[in-house]
């Protein structure tokens, strides 16, 4: 379940960052601090964008940074960074970064499916884009009802 | 029934989202299909009626798969995914 991963200590809001690499690094920091991921996973997420292109931008303003399951990942985790000012990610403006750390092909799927339902709902997505963490948490709670 | 592949670099995150978008768009069009999400290297050895992936990965795949490759920019964009699906279907008429 999504709320199991996205809680107060894994959600951050910032006014701005200098570039998308910094955004991914900042977004991933709570997972790093909790020991969910290792430093190598953060590097792998950045390398992947360099190598595979910006397909982690799943829709306007939203990116899902991730890399190989289980490589530098100790347990399933997600962390969120919302930005007041969007940052360029290889030609795409992004305001919301949701870091995904997977251990295998399936353990995170329920949570990911909740994320996708949230983002495909225009009204809810608008709330996510506004970046108010308290409101986003409410949405996540409601999603579980 | 068609078999589609949704491909990203690792087969765990974006491709899963793309799979959901394809299923949704297919349902709206009344298409019977099975969508498998996978990483780039497994995709190379898997046959399918069509492969959906990013521009960059698509370029890499084209040389190593016989299946038609449809590049998708926004994996969660239902309209874009739907258009790619329509393009595929128009080759089947």
The half-sphere exposure of A98 on its side-chain side, counting CA atoms within 13 A, is: 28
**How much of chain B is in helix, strand and coil states, percent to nearest 5?**
45, 25, 35
Rg of chain B (C-alpha set): 12
Q: Structural domain of residue A133, as residue ranges?
A: 2-143
Confidence of residue A59 (pLDDT cuts 50, 70, 90): very high
User: CA of A66: which chain B residue's CA is closest?
Assistant: B13
**B27 in any annotated domain:** yes
How far is the alpha carbon of B50 from chain A, nearest alpha carbon, in Å? 18
Number of domains, chain A: 1
**B90 in any annotated domain:** no
How far is the alpha carbon of A94 from chain B, nearest alpha carbon, in Å? 13
For the ranges A43-47, A49-53, B43-47, B58-62, the one whose mean pLDDT is highest: A43-47
Q: Are B57 and A119 in contact (CB < 8 Å)?
A: no
Percent of chain A surpassing pLDDT 70: 99
Question: Domain holding B21: CATH number?
Answer: 3.40.50.2300
Q: Are B75 and A58 in contact (CB < 8 Å)?
A: yes
Q: Does A62 touch chain B (CB under 8 A)?
A: yes
Write out the residues of chain B at the interface with chain A, using a CB-CB cutoff of 8 A.
Answer: 8-14, 16-17, 20, 40, 53-57, 72-78
Question: Most distant CA pair in chain A: distance in Å?
Answer: 39
Q: Is the pLDDT of residue A145 over 70?
A: no
Q: In the predicted model, what is the mean pLDDT of chain A?
A: 94
Instruction: Say how far residue B79 (Cα) sits from the centre of its chain.
Output: 14
User: CA of B38: which chain A residue's CA is closest?
Assistant: A105
Q: Are B74 and A68 in contact (CB < 8 Å)?
A: no
Confidence of residue A106 (pLDDT cuts 50, 70, 90): confident
Q: B25-52: buried (b, 16+ CB within 10 Å) or exposed (e) per residue?
A: bbeeeebebebbbbbbeebeeeebbbbb
What is the H or E stretch that residue B93 is in?
A: none
What is the H or E stretch that residue A77 is in?
A: strand A77-89
Q: Structural domain of residue B24, as residue ranges?
A: 2-85
The average pLDDT across A87-111 equals 94
- What pLDDT, on a 0 to 100 scale, did the predictor assign at position A144? 59
- What pLDDT, on a 0 to 100 scale, did the predictor assign at position A52? 87
Mutate to test the interface with A, among B8, B10, B15 (most CBs of A within 10 A): B10
Number of domains, chain B: 1
Q: Does A105 touch chain B (CB under 8 A)?
A: yes
Q: In the predicted model, what is the mean pLDDT of chain B?
A: 93
- What pLDDT, on a 0 to 100 scale, did the predictor assign at position A74? 97
Closest by Cα among B82, B84, B91 to B27? B82
Neighbours of A139 (CB within 10 A): 17
**B60 in any annotated domain:** yes
* B59 Cβ contact list (under 8 Å, min separation 6): none
Question: Domain holding A15: CATH number?
Answer: 3.40.930.10
- What pLDDT, on a 0 to 100 scale, did the predictor assign at position A125? 95
ipTM: 0.86
- Residues in chain B predicted with pLDDT less than 50, given as ranges, are none
Q: Are A59 and B20 in contact (CB < 8 Å)?
A: no
- What pLDDT, on a 0 to 100 scale, did the predictor assign at position A1? 82
How far separated are the first and last CA of chain A, in Å rounded? Answer: 11
Asked if A44 contacts A85 with a C-beta cutoff of 8 angstroms, the reply is no
- What pLDDT, on a 0 to 100 scale, did the predictor assign at position A68? 94
CA-to-CA separations, A130 to A54, B13, B72, in angstroms, rounded: 22, 24, 26
């Amino acid at each position: 379940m999504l709320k199991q991963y996205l809680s107060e200590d894994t959600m951050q809001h910032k006014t701005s960052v200098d570039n998308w690499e910094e955004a991914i690094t900042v977004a991933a920091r709570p997972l790093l601090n909790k020991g969910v991921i290792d430093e190598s996973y953060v590097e792998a997420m950045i390398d992947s964008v360099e190598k595979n292109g910006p397909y982690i931008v799943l829709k306007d303003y939203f990116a899902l940074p991730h890399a190989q399951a289980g490589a530098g990942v100790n347990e399933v985790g997600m962390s969120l960074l919302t930005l007041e000012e969007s940052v360029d990610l290889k030609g795409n403006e992004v305001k919301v970064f949701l870091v995904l750390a997977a251990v295998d092909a399936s353990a995170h799927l329920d949570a990911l499916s909740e994320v996708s339902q949230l983002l495909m709902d225009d009204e809810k997505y608008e709330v996510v884009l506004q970046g108010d963490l308290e409101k986003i948490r409410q949405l996540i709670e409601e999603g579980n009802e | 029934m068609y078999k589609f592949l949704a491909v990203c670099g690792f087969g765990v995150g974006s491709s899963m989202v793309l799979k959901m978008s394809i299923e949704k768009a297919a349902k709206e069009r009344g298409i019977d299909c099975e969508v498998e999400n996978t990483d780039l290297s497994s995709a190379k050895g898997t046959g399918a009626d069509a492969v959906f992936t990013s521009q960059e990965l698509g370029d890499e795949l084209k040389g190593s798969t016989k299946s038609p490759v449809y590049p998708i920019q926004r994996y969660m964009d239902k309209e874009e995914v739907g258009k790619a699906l329509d393009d595929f279907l128009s080759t089947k008429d």
